[in-house]
Chain A
Amino acid sequence: MPKLSRSDWYDLARDMNWTFGYVNEADVFPEELSGTGRVPPEAWLAWDEPYKISYREYVHNQVTKDTTTYSLKNAVGRSKLFDQLDPGWKSVVVAHYGAIAMPEYLASFGEARMGRFGRAAAWRNTATFGTLDEVRHGQIQTFFPYGLLGKEPRGDWALKAFHTNNWITLAVRHLFDDMFVANDALSVAIQLTFTLETGFTNLQFLGMAADAIDVGDLEFGSLISSIQTDEARHAQQGEPTIKVLIDNGHKEYGQFLVDHMFWRAWRAFALLTGLSMDYYTPLDSRKMSFKEFIQDWVVKQFADQFRDYGLDFPWYWDEFINELDWYHHAIHTVVWNYRPSVWWNSDAGVSPKERQWLEEKYPGWNRAFGKHWDVLTENVRTGNLAETFPETLPVACNLCQLPIVRAAGVLAGAHTDPAPLRHVHNGRVYQFCSEPCRWIFTRRPERFAGHKSITDRLWTGDINPPNIGGVLAYMGLSEAEHGVDADNYAWANGKH
């Protein structure tokens, strides 16, 4: 037992600072890697994380978490629990592993960059734990799906997805490269830990763990809870960082970084969580709609934080709130249509009962989106399945890399013109799904200009042959891996 209480020794043990005698400040903290140069070095000494932990305590806690989670996995792995899960829920899990396991590991790069180039010793200390957290999350989220391989071969997409040019991967990789793989320490703190983790994922993981337990997926529920406890701790890095930035007169820059990443996080959430909550999770287990979830958790929570720190709402706030009604519904229709191109089984989620729920939660859903599903349903019923599959690609946004669905925005009354937004940079035409995506691109075009969207790759001959077969092969999917309708079309026959 330590003789002193933590507060007696903590600062001394944590604050490993010294004055550089042999090297320059700029050599130790190059701006490209640190990003902290706007604020003088002494001002960073005010950086303080609210929740303190020592290395000994950290290791003790993590061992306990791993022991609990792995024991549960061993017990559940011998049962038939996974086989009994709803097919839509299995899709939630398989989609999650492919999209998230590798980014969690890559997030350890961002954490390690803060652990080295964060300008305060306290920050570097917290980031060191964050690095270990993210290594753990990468490992545990590839190991758990490995255990599913006997039942779900596409569990290996936890590892594989990021090594392909699948269109979902392109979107997720572009986002996370921007957020933490190729980002300086200050921006990682504000964009990963403050904007994404504090703003979105902490809350999402809480909800997801509860849903998992509700549908009977104890293994996934326990895994997600175990991860969430780490996230909540290392996400603390954002608040002290933004506080130091604002206290030293750089609110505008902090606001820019938040505005940039809040929109991108919203796009990723609409894709992954929007589809999961409103279409894949079985109806009986839905506690709230995706829109209610974002309103209750993200909007309220962020409203508090913006106020507390003197930040403003992002300039596109009205557009964001408006999109809660329609954007993810459009993306869902496209993902289902392109179901062979994703590594999970897309759950249409539009049985008569589910459509009733959608109309209740999103008044006008039938008028804007139900019409497409009427046509799709009719094609399924009459055995005209070929017409439910695509023959070309949608045009992807050159920032978020997701399909441009302004056409659906027109149906929902949010836009008047379905045409993609454009920007010409060095003679190349870039197309965007929204004003915020175009704004993010044009503020720092050199950061994004070299990237080709999946549609660019089709147009410029990277994908051969330039047809849907070539596209699926380019995306790294063997025929056995193509996603199929999760319910084998039971929804279309009204038997769901």
Chain B
Amino acid sequence: MALLPLSGTFLGDVTTVGVVVDDEDTAEAVGQKIAHHAVGRRVAARTAPIRVRLGGRVLDPDEIIGRTGVSPYDHVEVFFDE
């Protein structure tokens, strides 16, 4: 359990936001934490699942973020998978 600062962009949003997640969070949870600041606020909500891309690779929803090779302040891209 350790705090992990990340920058995240939800595709379709205007800006990149700063978030602090837990390194034990799943990719699914990280995606939701970033989507929280964009979807329904500036990006229209959809029913599609939310995915996370780190360094060009789309993470498996159950992957633990701390075990993906991520470093603090890395950038993740979050998007609707459809």
Seen from chain A, the residues whose Cβ lies within 8 Å of a Cβ on chain B are 330, 333-334, 337, 369, 371-372, 374-376, 379, 387-388, 390-395, 403-408, 410-411, 418-420, 429, 431, 455, 458-459, 466
Q: Is B49 an interface residue (CB 8 A)?
A: no
A191 to B40, CA, bound (A): 43
Per-residue 0/1 for B63-79: is the Cβ within 8 Å of any A Cβ (1 yes, 0 no)?
00000000111010100
7 smallest A-B Cβ distances: which pairs? A372-B42, A418-B9, A408-B14, A459-B5, A394-B15, A419-B75, A395-B7
* Also in contact, A394 and B43, with CB within 8 A (given A407-B11, A418-B77, A419-B77): no
Q: Is the CB of B5 within 8 A of A406?
A: no
Of B7, B10, B12, B44, which one neighbours A420 at CB under 8 angstroms? B7
CA distance in complex: A388, B37 (Å):
10
Residues of B within 8 A of A407 (CB): 9-16
A403 touches B19 (CB 8 A): no
Interface contact B14-A395, CB-CB below 8 Å: no
Nearest A-chain residue to B41, judged by Cβ: A387
20 additional contacts, CB 8 Å, given A375-B42, A387-B40, A459-B20?
A330-B14, A333-B14, A333-B42, A374-B44, A375-B43, A379-B41, A390-B37, A392-B17, A403-B15, A404-B7, A405-B14, A407-B10, A407-B16, A408-B14, A411-B12, A418-B9, A419-B9, A420-B7, A459-B18, A459-B73
- Report the separation of the CA atoms of residues A390 and B16 in the bound assembly, to the nearest whole angstrom: 13
Chain A residue numbers with a CB within 8 Å of B17 are: 392-395
**A395 lies within 8 A of B16 (CB):** yes
Chain B residues near A466 (CB-CB < 8 A): 20
In B14-71, which residues have CB < 8 Å from any A CB?
14-20, 36-37, 40-44, 71
A429 B73 Cβ-Cβ under 8 A: yes
Task: Compute how far the CA of A320 lies from the CA of B10 in the bound complex, rounded to whole angstroms.
Answer: 25
Known contacts being A418-B11, A419-B9, is A393 close to B44, with CB within 8 Å?
no
Chain B hits for A394, CB < 8 A: 15-18
Find out whether the CB atom of B37 lies under 8 angstroms from the CB atom of A391. yes
Question: A371–B14 Cα gap in the complex (Å)?
Answer: 10
Q: In the complex, what distance in Å separates the CA atom of A393 from the CA atom of B19? A: 8
Give every chain B residue within 8 A of A410 (Cβ-Cβ): 11
A376–B42 touching, CB < 8 Å: yes
> Taking CB as reference atom, which chain B residue is nearest A389?
B41
- Distance (whole angstroms) from the CB of A140 to the closest CB of chain B: 36
Compute how far the CA of A190 lies from the CA of B37 in the bound complex, rounded to whole angstroms: 42
Cβ of B46 to closest chain A Cβ, rounded Å: 12
Give the residue name and chain of the B residue nearest to A338 (CB).
Answer: B15
Interfacial chain B residues near A431, Cβ < 8 Å: 7, 73
**Chain A neighbourhood of B72, CB < 8 A:** 429
Contact B42 A420 (CB under 8 A): no
Cβ distance A173 to chain B, nearest Cβ, rounded Å: 20
Q: Measured between alpha carbons, how far is A31 from B42 in the docked complex, in Å? A: 50
CB distance from A66 to the nearest CB of B (A): 43
Contact assessment for B16 and A420 in the assembled complex, using a CB-CB cutoff below 8 Å: yes
Residue of B nearest to A409 (CB): B14
Q: How far is the CB of A468 from chain B (nearest CB, A)?
A: 11
Q: B18 near A392 (CB under 8 angstroms)?
A: yes
Interface centre among B7, B14, B20 (most CB of A within 10 A): B14
User: Shortest beta-carbon distance, B22 to chain A, in Å?
Assistant: 14
A374-B44, A375-B41, A459-B20 given; A408·B15 CB < 8 A: yes
Contacts of A418 in B (CB 8 A): 9, 11, 16, 77
Which of A391, A406, A419, A431 has its CB near the most chain B CB atoms (within 10 A)? A419
User: 29 A–B contact pairs at CB < 8 A?
Assistant: A330-B14, A333-B15, A334-B14, A371-B43, A376-B41, A379-B40, A392-B17, A392-B37, A393-B17, A393-B18, A394-B18, A395-B17, A395-B18, A403-B16, A404-B15, A407-B9, A407-B10, A407-B11, A407-B12, A407-B13, A407-B15, A407-B16, A411-B12, A411-B14, A418-B77, A420-B7, A429-B71, A458-B18, A459-B73
